[in-house]
Amino acid sequence: DAKTTQPTSMDCAEGRAANLPCNHSTISGNEYVYWYRQIHSQGPQYIIHGLKNNETNEMASLIITEDRKSSTLILPHATLRDTAVYYCIVPNYGQNFVFGPGTRLSVLP
């Protein structure tokens, strides 16, 4: 897998946008960027993925830089229930997903 680096932890005020960065400078042209989150002691939850273009769904937006070496997951209006560990994953084409330590996001009231 292309190596990803994420901050260990972040805080965000409730109701504000949470912007979670991820660096993946060794990404190849056909490798996707995936985001998952894991709320304490639950199974990871798929959030969103993208290749080149920015993507948006009901949960979040994904902004990928033009050179594809980094991306940002945006939770537009964070709630207390968004407190979780967020994982940025870039699996090699046809290979498996490797979960790193992720970013622990704390949404504060």
Partner 1 sequence: ETGVTQTPRHLVMGMTNKKSLKCEQHLGHNAMYWYKQSAKKPLELMFVYSLEERVENNSVPSRFSPECPNSSHLFLHLHTLQPEDSALYLCASSQFKGGRSYEQYFGPGTRLTVT
**Residues 2, 90 contacting (CB under 8 angstroms):** yes
Question: Does residue 95 bind partner 1 (CB under 8 A)?
Answer: yes
Question: Does residue 96 bind partner 1 (CB under 8 A)?
Answer: yes
Question: Does residue 108 bind partner 1 (CB under 8 A)?
Answer: no
Distance CA 78, CA 40 (A): 17
Question: Does residue 91 bind partner 1 (CB under 8 A)?
Answer: yes
45-50 sheet: strands from edge to edge:
9-13, 103-108, 84-89, 33-38, 45-50
Question: Does residue 100 bind partner 1 (CB under 8 A)?
Answer: yes
Question: Does residue 42 bind partner 1 (CB under 8 A)?
Answer: yes
* Single residue of 34, 60, 73, 107 touching partner 1 by CB under 8 A: 34
* Single residue of 2, 59, 74, 98 touching partner 1 by CB under 8 A: 98
44: Cβ contacts below 8 Å, ≥ 6 apart: 36, 37, 38, 87, 99
Q: How many helices (H) and strands (E) does the chain have?
A: 0, 9
In the bound complex, what is the minimum distance in angstroms from residue 16's beta carbon to partner 1? 27
Contact footprint for partner 1 (CB under 8 A): 34, 41-46, 49, 91, 93-102
